[in-house]
Structure 1
Amino acid sequence: MSAAPRGHAESGLLDPDEPPAFAIVNARGAGSAILVCDHASNRIPRRLSTLGLAPEQLADHIGWDPGAAEVAQRLSAELDAPLVQSGYSRLVIDCNRPLDNAASIAEQSAGIQVPGNLGLSARARAARVEALFRPYHEAIDRLLDARSDRPSLLLSIHSFTPVLHGEQRPWPVGVSHWRDRRFAALLSKPLARRVDGIVGDNQPYPIEEAVDYTVPVHGEGRGLHAVMIEIRNDGLRETAQIGAWAERLAAAYREIEAEAVSLGRWRVDI
Structure 2
Amino acid sequence: MNTDSSAFDFGPSFSTTSSATGAEVIVVCEHAANWIPPGLADLGLEVSARNSHIAWDPGALGVARKLAELLQGPLVEGRISRLVYDLNRPPESPTAIPAASEIFDVPGNQNLSDAARAQRVQAVYEPFCAALADEIHRGKDALRLVVTVHSFTPIYKGESRAVELGLLHGRDDRFAEAMMVRQPETLPWNVRLNEPYSAADGVAHTLDLHGCDNGLLNVMLEIRNDLIATAEQQADWAEQLAPWIRSTLKEAFA
> What's the TM-score, normalizing by structure 2?
0.92
Deviation, 1:140, is 0.7
Q: 2:94 maps to what in 1?
A: 102
Write the deviation string for residues 81-131 of structure 1: whole angstroms up to 9, x where unpaired.
100000100000100112111111000000210011111111111111111
Match of 1:161 among 153, 166, 178: 153
Q: 1:5 maps to what in 2?
A: none
Percent of aligned positions that are identical: 39
Amino acid at match of 1:225: L
TM-align CA RMSD: 1.8
Q: 2:51 maps to what in 1?
A: 59
Amino acid at match of 2:147: L
Pair 1:210–1:168, CA change in 2 (3 A): closer
CA distance in 1, matches of 2:51, 2:7: 25
Indicate whether 1:85 and 2:77 are aligned: yes
Higher relative contact order (CA 8 A, sep 6+): 2
Deviation, 1:261, is 4.1
Indicate whether 1:33 and 2:25 are aligned: yes
Pair 1:24–1:12, CA change in 2 (3 A): farther
CA distance in 2, matches of 1:24, 1:237: 23
Match of 1:14 among 9, 15, 27: 9
Write the deviation string for residues 210-238 of structure 1: whole angstroms up to 9, x where unpaired.
55310111111221111110000000112
CA distance in 2, matches of 1:235, 1:91: 23
CA distance in 1, matches of 2:223, 2:231: 15
Deviation, 1:260, is 4.4
Unaligned runs of 5+ in 2: 1-5
Indicate whether 1:149 and 2:141 are aligned: yes
CA distance in 1, matches of 2:21, 2:192: 29
Q: 2:235 maps to what in 1?
A: 243
Deviation, 1:145, is 1.3
Unaligned runs of 5+ in 1: 1-10, 263-270
Deviation, 1:209, is 8.7
